[in-house]
């Protein structure tokens, strides 16, 4: 089947999941989302409600909602009904099941996941149908959330990340004339304690559906438990509901201390940065933050049923520094430097040590296969700051752990023998932990070096940019392209392929994002004589790849 062919988005066959035209679905949903965002911007809430109703009733939105919950990381995790949608027929039938009339969500399946401080975080897992319904209504709610969001809120928003929040901290604190004091805030059990009454009264979406989700309860040890407060943790829509509850604090601060770049703001230097439930507020003095700013924040949170954590909320001078999102922000003799926090480095190294201690007899190739993604992910998170010295230190500590691991399993061998077996020279690098790909071959798997990860400058997203407004469409296309370039910079082969495709999937024609999951498709199948050369490869979204092969097998 040619990748340029478009198949009908509507069909009455039970085997039609792979014949859906995803490009057309995305186009229809995007048009409605743009209209919702414009109506929100104009304050026309009646029109917003009407357009939201149109969107959640459309086939295209329902298909995209089912696709989202069957492609994400939790697609194999069932809810209380123990059902998963793992076949095209189940996915197709699921689209028809997303109806408002008669809908009643099932209770969440409660599990607990460990936190860094040793405590456990409760997590509620909805059923597949409830997840899809949340994804459907999120398509209608997200344009509203983006249009009304705080300017410097960066958590759980499209195209925004921790790196943007850290860069904004640098903007607010790096100059000689910048504020010297910082209020570090952390909301106690944010998602667990948000007032249901406040959400139902203030979130611009279907109140009946929202109430059903909030009051669905959870199952634990075979017993049903009611939920009196909080949003359903583990639900797709929960982060957006939390953002809507926390948005508005920046406006409150500006109403008391002046908007940015005004005379009033120069006097107090009150600036706000938030990522999810963690935030900082800068100020010209400790007294200003403790006596004037903090009471405003406490009152704002109380209205939403929230309180600040006494353990994690305090005022710090910038010369002492503070930890924010796993990174340490501090001025050294007047110069701002942002580095990985000691706690974050310690946790990362502990995870590696725990893995090596619990896998004392696995092959070296398995160790490399496990550690490389851990090292790469951690380094990619910190690559935008002053991390080069930390990366070298991490390499040294990992080398020491691996040397102990090797000596422990070969305690009767000489050090020279252990060195020759596991540590090779690769180019300019020596003592590289390696494992042969196959016995007797010269090619080796090699451990990634953190110090070789390139430190780069992160370009912060424009504060007022909105991906649902047509005025910013070109800006976001350029932004996604630049971030995709950086994410693929380690592989020139992948970069050439995606550049040839104009950075878009060859089936649904949607632009790739740096976080998208994708597959490689062979234009001429290997069984038909196709090769693995770049000219015979195409990058596709996973679902689009499945669709292409399903169409080819049917002779479409």
pLDDT tens for each residue of 158-168: 999 999 999 99
pLDDT tens for each residue of 357-366: 999 989 999 9
Measured distance CA(329)–CA(317) in Å, rounded: 11
pLDDT tens for each residue of 297-321: 999 999 999 999 888 899 999 999 9
Q: What is the pLDDT of residue 515?
A: 63
Q: What is the pLDDT of residue 431?
A: 94
b/e code 478-509 from CB counts within 10 Å (16+ = b): ebbbebbebbbeeeeebbebbeebebebbbbb
Q: Rounded to the nearest 5 degrees, what angle is found at the Cα of 209, between the Cα atoms of 277 and 207?
A: 80
| Secondary structure (3-state) at 10 | coil
pLDDT tens for each residue of 248-298: 999 999 999 988 777 767 789 999 999 998 999 999 999 999 999 999 999
b/e code 420-457 from CB counts within 10 Å (16+ = b): eebbbeeeeeeebbbbbeeeeeeebbebbbbbebeeee
Structural domains in the chain plus CATH codes: 13-148+204-228 (no CATH), 149-194+233-338 (3.30.70.270), 342-452 (no CATH), 472-552 (no CATH)
DSSP tag of 85? -
* Per-residue CA distances from 79 to 84, 110, 224 (Å): 8, 9, 14
Measured distance CA(332)–CA(516) in Å, rounded: 38
pLDDT tier for residue 547 given thresholds of 50, 70 and 90: confident
Q: Which residues pair with 274 in a beta bridge?
A: 153, 279
pLDDT(3) > 70: no
pTM of the model: 0.85
pLDDT(494) > 90: no
pLDDT tens for each residue of 5-21: 333 444 444 458 888 98
pLDDT tens for each residue of 380-392: 999 999 999 999 9
* CB neighbourhood size of 522 (10 A): 15
Q: Is-contact 319 331, C-beta < 8 A?
A: yes
Sequence-distant contacts of 231-234: CB under 8 A, at least 24 apart: 231/191, 231/194, 231/199, 232/108, 232/124, 232/126, 233/121, 233/122, 233/123, 233/124, 233/191, 233/192, 234/108, 234/123, 234/124, 234/125, 234/126
Mean pLDDT to the nearest integer, 54-66: 96
* Per-residue CA distances from 472 to 34, 146, 464 (Å): 11, 13, 10
Phi then psi for residue 280, to 5 deg, are: -130, 150
DSSP tag of 331? E
Q: What is the pLDDT of residue 491?
A: 62
Q: What is the pLDDT of residue 251?
A: 94
Angle, in degrees to the nearest 10, between helices 388-409 and 364-382: 170
């Amino acid at each position: 089947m040619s990748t340029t062919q478009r198949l009908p988005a509507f069909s009455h066959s039970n085997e039609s999941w792979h014949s859906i035209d995803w490009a057309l679905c995305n186009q229809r949903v995007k048009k409605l989302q743009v209209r919702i965002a414009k109506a929100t911007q104009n304050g026309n809430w009646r029109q917003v409600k009407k357009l939201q109703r149109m969107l959640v009733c459309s086939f295209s939105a329902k298909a995209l909602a089912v696709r989202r919950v069957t492609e994400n990381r939790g697609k194999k995790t069932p809810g209380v009904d123990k059902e998963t949608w793992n076949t095209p027929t189940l996915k197709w039938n699921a689209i028809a099941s997303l109806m408002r009339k008669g809908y009643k969500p099932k209770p969440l399946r409660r599990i607990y996941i460990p936190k860094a401080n040793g405590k456990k975080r409760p997590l509620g897992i909805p059923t597949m149908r409830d997840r899809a319904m949340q994804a459907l209504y999120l398509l209608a709610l997200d344009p509203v959330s983006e249009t009304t969001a705080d300017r410097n809120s960066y958590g759980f928003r499209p195209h925004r990340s921790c790196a943007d929040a850290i860069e904004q901290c640098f903007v607010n604190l790096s100059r000689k004339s910048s504020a010297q004091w910082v209020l570090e805030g952390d909301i106690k059990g944010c998602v667990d304690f948000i007032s249901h009454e406040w959400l139902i009264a203030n979130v611009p979406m279907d109140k009946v559906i929202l109430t059903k989700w909030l009051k669905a309860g959870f199952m634990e040890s075979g017993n049903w438990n009611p939920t009196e407060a909080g949003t359903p943790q583990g639900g797709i829509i929960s982060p957006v509901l939390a953002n809507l509850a926390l948005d508005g604090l920046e406006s409150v601060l500006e109403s008391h201390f002046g908007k940015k770049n005004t005379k009033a703001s120069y006097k107090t230097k009150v600036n706000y940065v938030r990522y999810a439930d963690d935030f900082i507020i800068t100020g010209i003095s400790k007294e200003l933050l403790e006596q004037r700013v903090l009471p405003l924040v406490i009152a704002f949170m109380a209205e939403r049923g929230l309180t600040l954590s006494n353990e994690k909320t305090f005022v710090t001078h910038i010369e002492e520094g503070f930890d924010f999102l796993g990174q340490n922000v501090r001025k050294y003799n007047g110069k701002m430097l942002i580095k990985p926090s000691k706690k974050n480095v310690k946790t990362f190294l502990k995870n590696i040590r725990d893995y090596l201690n619990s896998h004392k007899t696995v092959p070296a190739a398995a160790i490399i296969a496990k550690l490389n993604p851990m090292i790469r992910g951690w380094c990619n998170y910190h690559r935008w700051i002053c991390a080069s010295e930390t990366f070298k230190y991490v390499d040294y500590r990992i080398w020491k752990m691996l040397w102990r691991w090797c000596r422990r399993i070969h305690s009767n061998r000489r050090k020279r023998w252990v060195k020759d077996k596991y540590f090779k020279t690769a180019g300019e690098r020596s003592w590289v932990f390696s494992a042969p790909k196959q016995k007797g071959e010269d090619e080796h798997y090699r451990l990634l070096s953190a110090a070789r990860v390139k430190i780069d400058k992160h370009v912060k997203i424009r504060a007022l940019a909105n991906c649902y407004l047509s005025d910013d469409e070109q800006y976001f296309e350029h932004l996604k392209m630049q971030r995709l370039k950086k994410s693929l910079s380690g592989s020139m082969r992948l970069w050439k392929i995606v550049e040839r495709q104009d950075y878009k999937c060859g089936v649904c024609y949607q632009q790739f994002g740096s976080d998208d999951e994708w597959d490689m498709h062979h234009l001429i199948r290997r069984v038909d004589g196709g090769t693995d050369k770049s000219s015979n490869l195409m990058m596709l979204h996973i679902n689009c790849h499945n669709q292409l092969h399903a169409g080819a097998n049917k002779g479409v």
